[in-house]
A and B are shown apart, each in its own frame.
Chain A
Amino acid sequence: MADTTPKSNGAGEPIITVRNMGKSFDDFVALRDVTLDVNRSEVLCLIGPSGSGKSTLLRCLNFLEAYDAGEVRLDGELIGWQEGVSPRKARSSGTLRKQRQHIGMVFQQFNLWPHMTALENVAEALIQVKGMGKAAACEKAQAALAKVHLSDKAQSYPANLSGGQQQRVAIARAIAMEPRVMLFDEPTSALDPELVGEVLAVMKEMAAEGMTMVVVTHEMGFAAHVADRVAFLDAGRLVTCAPPADIFAREPDDARVRSFLQTYRERNVV
């Protein structure tokens, strides 16, 4: 069966715990019985075929999708639903917002706000959500932009940034909030191949600094070299979760993982 218990590979204790979590869209079961821990300062990569539920799993972690079975906890606190209330009742929007501040998210399509400069994109939530003053927010935003090596683009509008730059601004927007974990949903899939590297490099730096990251990706190279563990999803189920060496180096036990990786090998990606 699937091995979902965390391996002791130097990472800390669990920060996110997912227990028997499920999610359905009407009749369609997108996720079933997912149990998974994400450890502090760990990089966990989610891989799997298209439609297997990777995005849905990620979006359940910050309650962009309301999971309907099991639980998701961040530092022990139940995400989205009120503790111990049955039938389930969503938390107040204020509490939900507080919880989401601890979970940064980066999207495939960047989703920068086009009417704001790079700096304004990063500073906006600091002002509107954290209630910081404009000057302090801008200073902090500048620091976040420096982290993604875009200090010189602070005054540019997204329309004047390359895809890779836009995605790095989106990362800066998330890290400026000082989240406890960062979620990435295929952060490089919408990028031209020559721009993928700069985004992955920034993510690598974040990992080195000890940021806890959950990354849905098709970049098997990144998964193999940066991830502490790799989780494989298929048809809404977590098939396996193991260190990349176990998944990429030798033949995986599971046939589904084997055939999935086979297509990548054929394309010379790994």
Chain B
Amino acid sequence: MNFSFDVIWHNLPYLLAAARWTLLISVAGMAISIVWGVFLCAARISKNRLLANVAALYISFFRGVPLLVQLLMAYYMLPYVGLDLPAIAAAILAVGLCSAAYTAEILRGALQAIPAGQTEAAHALGIPGFSLWKRILVPQAIRIGLPSLVNELILLVKVSSLASVVGIGELTRISQNITGQTYRPLEIYIAAAAIYFLINLVISGLGRLAEKRLQAG
């Protein structure tokens, strides 16, 4: 068999359109991940033992179960408990809730990397607790954690392919559909791989740019 660029060329518009869904799932998932991750992190390091333990359990569970299983659970079980979300919403939610467990740990690690002396200095200067968080700790935590957060986003782009299993027409699913019509799996999947790779290349480039900005600022 000869590798046919024609097949790729003809189907490229469909693949690119599908890539928008891939981006939507990963970016929306990341948004949920960060917001929910901040809460989880706060709970995890809070002095309330119960809260901290619940957060630790959540983090352990969501990091311990394959995302594909979590997706299937969201897909099958949410309707069962009366939550009839559209498939895409369920997928984004599942991705976000799982990723939040990782984001929480990234933020916790970043907070720990800030020298304790800074907190002490702030206390010595009489800076109140909330300002300390808002103006000193959180900005630094984000700067320290940024490379890991960018990594997490790249991971989400990759795992968004799992959403194909519950029938969402993102890049992987559409590639499967096109393959079903053209019987050209090699070309189509390699093209899909290339698109995923380019998306991640752009994200990591932007991430490095942001890192430089933060370091300069």
Q: Do chains A and B touch in the complex (CB under 8 A)?
A: no
**Chain A interface residues (CB < 8 Å from chain B):** none
